[in-house]
A and B are shown apart, each in its own frame.
Chain A
């Protein structure tokens, strides 16, 4: 089997860092069971990490090595691709893949230069773009448009804790990349205006707001009579410049 690319590894993991095994069969996280594949790694470069995960160069992290990869001994270096296991004073992660320390290191640094771009960062950017492209392929319509009206749909019946609080945004289109909409038309788009947990991260159009809108046919028949499309995902609003990317990628 050919080695997985950095992008493939990153697609399966949330965290990437270089490091040196400091101790085998050990952990820095209390109450975590230890076996032959549990190692403590001293972190070198943090190549990719979610904002909430506070991994710093020089810190230690417990890594549960993948059963599919050779075990590592103290002193060995690698680039680790991993997902979270436990978060305490220190972090424990489960390895999903590995490359040599050099493969994922900043290429500029290997050339003796200082630069921020790494193969991992580039792969992360590609993956983020892939997610938008994939989401765009699933959209029923894609329009470049500006919000020209906002209106609340009056609700009936008793209030509900998780009421989405439907509103309709009228989008004035100037370009249609996909879907049965004529450029220049106004299109009514349903969106959840609630700040509740369920829909908090969905787009909440604002008056005058412009962008590239990824629209989905409204699922609820009653609501579809009021607006043929709806916004369902945080990816449904993109900067207009993303249109070029979608064109290049054949959407």
Chain B
């Protein structure tokens, strides 16, 4: 996705995110930890108006040349784009809006608050007598509400209203915690008004170390677009009667903020949820934990499904992948389920980061359709801070199409892209060398974001 005019770019463009305009799927916006190429006052987004065939950067995100977290989502009609960021300068949680991300106008600040983490945006548009209303749900970890920190910032009319555009924050954690929840709070919205929220309840710190935590994976729901003063209380756990079903209980995680135990990457906070657009009863969930516990070395991805609106969940291991992270799920209009993830395959110098897309029609009862999108030596490039690949990436479905974005080594080697790739930046695939715009000067290998589209 790095454009040709930035062929000399060597940043660690990790932690990508993506939004597709459902009304005009040729319009796509993506993000990463990419700095403004001129170190200006606004951070860039990647934009494409040809369904991802070509990309360019527009620096429209206020707060400095980069962001400290960013996710994006389009309303389902009207073309407005919403972003949740951690402001690069203040580190505040910001919610932003633009009517047209393809213009050069900076996004409008709607919410600005300190002491929060990892905003994750979903949006949809609902009919109302007064016209379309953009309903925006931003999962976030709100340290101002400790010890229950898993929260959703929501607005039911976000498209045009002045700041704060109806946004209000609701804590979705309903149990005791060790003092906070985990960073990821993910939302999945259905047009019928069903909103699922998944989060990681941090139950207790384990004796084996400060980074070892016992975690519950919790899903809660709202059936009316988040309306009312106590939204997200439609699911309660059959065992303790409290809001939110504990899909997985007492799972071991090792949360590593500044070390890289998986290749060069940190671990500890992987979570994804997706709802079937054809039937909001069907909801899919993925997370990672350490099956081996305190003495283990694994980081294991789990996928499960509910067909009764999140009340009960069957096999928690419909799909497991050892040493994988960044699970992201999407369900298309025909019920085809997509799972994208990044797996560390092999050990030592031979270890490789392998990014895969799997598609299943039967919950992995039979072998899924599977694509290796990217495979690259895990030692290259040497990391420049963390996260190395990102704490998340994203897969979306619009209609029958799947759209995704991941980050990985940009070494121009055909073997690294078994499903094919097109570079915009200058590269010589014969010598596996990146080149500046002069097509002569070599450029160091770095982490780039890559766009993927799959048509079933």
Contacts and interface: CB of A to CB of B under 8 A. Distances in A.
A112 B211 CA distance: 65
Contacts of B3: 87-89
A89 B424 contact: yes
Interface stretch (B161-169, B177-185, B325-333, B372-380): B177-185
Interface stretch (A69-77, A98-106, A156-164, A211-219): A156-164
Contact of B117 (A31, A159, A161): A161
Interface in A82-103: 83-91
A198 B91 contact: yes
Interface in B167-214: 178-180, 183, 202, 205, 210-211, 213
B257 A161 contact: yes
A99 to B, nearest CB: 19
B343 interface: no
A109 interface: no
Given A87-B37, A161-B117, A196 B258 contact: yes
Contact of B54 (A54, A83, A88, A196): A88
Given A51-B8, A88-B3, A159-B210, A56 B117 contact: no
Nearest to B211: A159
Interface in B81-116: 86, 91, 102, 104
Contacts of A85: 58, 104
A163 B102 contact: no
B103 to A, nearest CB: 8
A242 to B, nearest CB: 21
B104 A196 contact: no
A181 interface: no
B286 interface: no
B88 to A, nearest CB: 8
A159 B257 contact: yes
A50 B3 CA distance: 16
Given A14-B38, A88-B55, A52 B9 contact: yes
Interface residues of B, number: 57
B71 interface: no
A162 B117 contact: yes
Interface string B241-284: 00000000000000111100000000011000000000000000
Given A15-B38, A195-B386, A200-B385, A31 B257 contact: no
Contacts of A89: 3-5, 54, 56, 424
Contact of B39 (A50, A87, A200): A50
Interface in B271-305: none
A106 B6 CA distance: 26
B451 to A, nearest CB: 14
Contact of B56 (A15, A29, A160, A193): A29
B31 to A, nearest CB: 13
Contact of B36 (A15, A54, A84): A84
B433 to A, nearest CB: 15
Nearest to A155: B210
Contact of B391 (A84, A155, A161, A195): A161
Interface residues of A, number: 38
Given A83-B40, A162-B117, A52 B8 contact: yes
A241 interface: no
Contacts of A226: none
Contact of B49 (A31, A54, A163, A194): A31
Given A162-B257, A165-B257, A165-B258, A56 B438 contact: yes
Interface string A27-58: 00111000000000000000000111111100
Contacts of A155: 210
Contact of B6 (A52, A83, A162): A52
Contact of B258 (A59, A87, A88, A193): A193
A16 B408 CA distance: 33
Contacts of A51: 8, 10
Contact of A53 (B38, B54, B183, B268): B38
Given A88-B56, A161-B117, A50 B385 contact: no
Contacts of A158: 178-180, 202, 205, 210, 213, 255
Interface in B1-54: 3-11, 33, 35-40, 44, 49, 54
Contact of B68 (A29, A53, A198): A198
Which of A30, A50, A197 has most chain B Cβ within 10 Å? A197
B5 A91 contact: yes
Contact of A194 (B10, B36, B258): B258
Given A29-B56, A83-B38, A162 B68 contact: yes
Interface string B390-403: 01000000000000
Interface in A147-169: 155, 157-163, 165
A90 B425 CA distance: 11
Contacts of A197: 33, 66, 68-69, 385-386
Interface of A: 14-15, 29-31, 50-56, 59, 83-91, 155, 157-163, 165, 193-198, 200
Closest 6 CB pairs of A and B: A88-B56, A14-B38, A54-B437, A200-B385, A195-B385, A87-B57
14 contacts: A31-B102, A50-B38, A53-B37, A53-B38, A83-B38, A87-B3, A88-B56, A88-B57, A89-B56, A159-B257, A161-B268, A162-B68, A162-B117, A196-B386
Given A14-B40, A89-B5, A200-B385, 9 more contacts: A14-B39, A31-B102, A50-B39, A52-B6, A52-B9, A158-B202, A161-B183, A162-B86, A197-B386
